[in-house]
Amino acid sequence: MLNTERPHPLHAELDLYNTQQLLSALVEDHHHAVEAVRRALPALEQAVEAAWPRLRDGGRLLYVGAGSSGRLAVLDSVELPPTFSWPPERACAVLAGGPGAMFQAVEGAEDQPSRGSADIAALQPGPADVVLALAASGSTPYVLGALQQARQAGALSIGFANNPDAPVLRGADIAVLLDTGPEVISGSTRLKAGTAQKIALNSFSSAVMVRLGKVYGNLMVDLKASNTKLLQRTLALTLRASGASEAQALQALEACGFRVKTAIVMLRLGCSASQAELRLQACQGQVRLALAHDGAAPS
């Protein structure tokens, strides 16, 4: 029996717990999710190091999953554009059952490897792309079909599963085992197995974005200012990173279309928006390198 399907040895009488005991059991069990991801750090490091150069050179992040795992994959993909200005066409997720399965379970969709293969093939993966294949069981046919197709196309494949020696792990170039063990509610992998997947995905994609220059210090300087809250955040980030006055920061942001990285370089070096953009382009968007690049703003 898979670890994720085994009955939890400590909670055989869960239905007899009072509410306090029940909530405590559920919450405390999520500590094991953190430990599982911590044990997977070497594999996650390998995944980040293999992935970010491909993405730097124009590759895409392609996610595939079913059920809870698939919804977590979709969530990670859709959060990258507003958080890091990552192009949405370079963060694509396919979910067993199609987009509607995000909101309503499509039973049986995960049992079709040919559908997974076709869905990934429709994205035309190539050697520059990175495919993230998620399955708590590690044996979901839809995910395995997609994984096989991705590897045939030469894409880098990273498998995430919550059971040791799972087919998704064996079939991927890099295997990320998140061995969370049995769930408090037997087999309900939306619990700590899902938590571990969320932590692992979040950590992987965030680390990749840092390596790609989307962060300066620990400031999220490549966000899209798409609403009032984010407009305010761009100002706060620019103030913190540049040391300029609020009036100076706002003037710089307005001059560069509220691009925080550009505004920081403008204010720190006293150059125009176009000069700052040229400098950032020469340094592949890395603010720290742009500030030091050849000692003067390009003409």
- Asked if residue 189 lies in contact with residue 162, where contact means CB atoms within 8 angstroms, the answer is yes
User: Quick one: angle between helices 246-255 and 260-269, nearest 10?
Assistant: 120
CA 287 to CA 6: how far, in whole Å?
49
Active site (annotated) includes residue 28 = no
Question: 123-152: b or e for each residue (b if 16 or more CB lie within 10 Å)?
Answer: bebeebbbbbbbbbbbebbbbbbbbbbbbe
Compute φ and ψ for 91, nearest 5 degrees.
-140, 90
Identify the active-site residue in 5, 13, 28, 79: 79
* DSSP conformational letter for 157: E
* Bridge partners for 63 per DSSP: 93, 132
Identify the active-site residue in 28, 45, 107, 110: 110
Active site (annotated) includes residue 110 = yes
Positions annotated as catalytic residues are 79, 110
